[in-house]
Amino acid sequence: MSRPIFLDPPAASPRRPRAMKFAKRSTCARPTPEQSRRQSDVIRSAWRHFGEPGPVIAFLNTPHDTLDGQPLHIAIESDAGLKRVETLLNQLTLTT
């Protein structure tokens, strides 16, 4: 009889990559369709006025004394707020 041949134990089989783990859902409320519409409208208005991304972002995110808050937040909260921000943009157009 022949002697048994001992081989090295099989190398660990390559592991399959784990499935992607997605972040848990956000706990903050999603904007309503009306809020999304107002956000789109105010961004479009600011873009028409400034024409470049830097000034648009700065205007929308910087608190403004006339509005007592950030134009983006004021515009999203109500149609009246959107109108106030658009009026301010029109006034800025007239003075420049």
Residue 20 has pLDDT above 80, yes or no: no
- Tens of pLDDT, residue by residue over 63-89, are 999 899 999 999 999 999 999 999 999
CB 39 within 8 A of CB 75: yes
Residue 29 has pLDDT above 70, yes or no: yes
Phi first, then psi, for residue 90 (nearest 5°) are -65, -40
Domain residues of the chain, as ranges? 41-95
Residue 94 CA to chain centroid, in angstroms? 31
How far, in Å, CA of 87 to CA of 45, rounded? 10
Measured CA to CA, the distance from residue 59 to residue 46 in angstroms comes to 8
What's the confidence (pLDDT) of residue 50? Answer: 93
Helix, strand or coil for residue 23? coil
